[in-house]
Amino acid sequence: MIWMFSQHYQHYLDLFEPYLEQAFPEQARSWGGNVTTAARYSLLSGGKRIRPVLVLATVACLGSDPELALPYAAALEMIHTYSLVHDDLPCMDDDDLRRGRPTCHKQFGEALAVLAGDALLNRAFEVMLDDMTTGCQNKIEAARIIARAAGSSGMIAGQTLDLEAEGQLIPPEKLERLHQLKTGQLILAPVLAACALADASVPVTSLFQSFAANLGLAFQIQDDILDVTASESRLGKSTGKDQRDQKSTYVTLFGLDTAQAYLKEATRQAKEALGAVAGLGYDTTFLEDLADYLLLRDH
């Protein structure tokens, strides 16, 4: 069956959302009462679900059943949500609005928001470990990729560099490094975890690595652009903060036009890597359309 991009995206969401809902169930209230309510408030409040869609779509592109990747897709979304909950705290980026709703700490208080983030992070690993079976080397590798990407040599390192860079203009190489870690690792991990789950060969994995690294860069540049061009209601989060907080971004360092040129170039390179994957006989149509969707996204 030939699907339009939006139908195809929706198909992945239809697979993913019910799985995610039961992966952090309401019944878990008996584990810790309000922390479950706070975690579910943030986890099930929308969001584009790009990281889960990337895992499912890459696994499908490689000829495996996307359902096999659901625990890893859910884990990535839980880790991503925890990072947003903690990033929004007053001691970090101090934000009131996320996914069009009050941030977790605005709704439940700071202490519960810290615990909700912790609970999401721990549950992510529990969901992946629950999926382990005897002789499941590929699943272990996928979980390892996700753990490393989220950890102190991945996203947490990026967040630390970001905190340290506050109030100063940093050199472009440092900005790139910061973003490779803070945003890029959680875009790279879904694709590399999918390659592990689908047992992709080393050359194919290396092409997907190039695709995802460029996609992550494009995603971040667009995030910087949207901070100055998008409306708060469309974006569902505060805008204009980068300028206000004197943050180094692709826009504050290079200006809007150059940032847009970098965005197009990163997207072109992402699609070039996919072109090489397609040349090996894989159907990369959805992933190419996803790169274009991220290039043109307005939220």
Return the number of the residue (80 or 139) whose C-beta is nearest ligand GRG: 80
Q: In the beta sheet, which residues pair with residue 97?
A: 102
The contact set with ligand GRG (CB under 6 A) reads 47-48, 50, 80, 83-84, 86-87, 99, 155-156, 159, 182-183, 220, 223
Return the number of the residue (146 or 198) whose C-beta is nearest ligand GRG: 146
d(CA 183, CA 69): 21
> Minimum Å distance from CB 69 to ligand GRG?
18
Report H helices in the chain: 5-23, 29-32, 34-43, 50-61, 70-87, 104-108, 110-130, 137-150, 155-164, 172-179, 185-197, 202-229, 232-235, 241-244, 250-254, 256-279, 285-296
Return the number of the residue (209 or 241) whose C-beta is nearest ligand GRG: 241
> Minimum Å distance from CB 98 to ligand GRG?
7
Return the number of the residue (200 or 251) whose C-beta is nearest ligand GRG: 251
Q: Name the 3-class secondary structure at 1.
A: coil
Return the number of the residue (8 or 86) whose C-beta is nearest ligand GRG: 86
> Minimum Å distance from CB 223 to ligand GRG?
4
> Minimum Å distance from CB 48 to ligand GRG?
4
> Minimum Å distance from CB 227 to ligand GRG?
8
Spatial CB neighbours of 207, under 8 Å, sequence gap ≥ 6: 273, 274, 276, 277, 280
Q: Tell me the residue nearest to ligand GRG as measured from the CB.
A: 47
